[in-house]
Structure 1
């Protein structure tokens, strides 16, 4: 009886553990690629408030309903929620490292409301694109990211590649020429595998990123001359360099992201139900005895 109880408790625990792992958020461990742990129990990545976004050709005026806009993004991670790391963004020569996120999205204009006096409110939905997460330190041979020049955001090791899921919510309130504020929330799904030598989860395989941000115009300290200005040392240059032109709109983007894990397979629920049923059977036998 004791052995059987232990077995059932183990089955039940396994089922419950996997069921709770189906939640939206994953607990993340950041590692250095050679077996060392840099941060544990990380709930989210806080990206630099000087993150940069650009709407290619967006300076033509008020967005056109139904049009597709090309949007580029780049930023470095400045902190973790739930965990900490003393060497994040430290000097590479002294053992520091950085994490950067870059993206290229296609956004469809889904609504435009004219408010008078040149002001407008517009909404957007993602219809395509992807994001890459990079790790860089002295071993990777890259340079630290620099907002003004656009250098160093995609020259580290590519540790995760994600496709944007169609939809999402993005909006922008333009208050006049070259002024406005907005927000965005997009979900990304892994394309292939996240490199577990650098990023792993205690709740299962990482399957995606939830990205949110606030945006403002003019870009101010987020102004840059180029996007995706480097080549990673372990991958082809999937994000070609883009030089910002006079017809583009630069945005200040203050972003953050959480990670998700897989929804449990149907077999997991079967295991959970089997464990619960076995516990009920044992309880009845105990009462009978």
Structure 2
């Protein structure tokens, strides 16, 4: 089969769902994966409405389970004979801080947001070399700017950024283009899945309670004016079809401005002033 094939993780909601629809609209055979395929109804309904259901193949893939990853990638290549692109989108948010989080809490965040990217990318790379394909990973501006009460999440995203920025020039020598996509605030179920009760969280935060209340209030305002999942996904799809994709791309002007503070901040003072202001 001659159709180009893309595998996307985390497609049950949000950016992943919209990216799957966008790739299918662009004519790609789209393998839309998720940990629980019982949650695929929204994607399937949207694909029917968009007239692209015949290009979307829903499959199970748990990014934290290497066996699940390997099996899915092998099955996709066995079915379609090729793999031209991967979009690492699956992820999980987390709000907490060092004295309240356990080490196991931090490990769990790293498993989904960092090691999950590595599992999928490692399984896909031999096939992407064969097709001279694309490896695209949805990171976050939290992979550029460290943010209070997001230590574990930002650590995972920093790790993603460092790993893939390091990998990019090496992969390019074999014809594989690596890109990290950095959304800012996006209106999706990603934040809702964190599941925080603000009052209970502030009470449990002890001496950090007042700072957490201020942080949560500021975050609520930021997400009230958030970019839509569809707009963020359009940047992912544009990167997929770009003949010369960048190594790093932000999905909005707000994300570019935010990341730019860090990238121009050699001594860290600008970031400290910015994020410190969220806590009072």
- TM-score tier by shorter-chain length is under 0.3
Which structure has more RCO (C-alpha within 8 Å, separation ≥ 6)? 1
**Between structures 1 and 2, the one with greater strand share:** 1
Q: TM-score scaled to structure 1, two decimals?
A: 0.24
Q: TM-score scaled to structure 2, two decimals?
A: 0.25
Query: Which of structures 1 and 2 has the bigger CA Rg?
Result: 1
**Between structures 1 and 2, the one with greater helix share:** 2
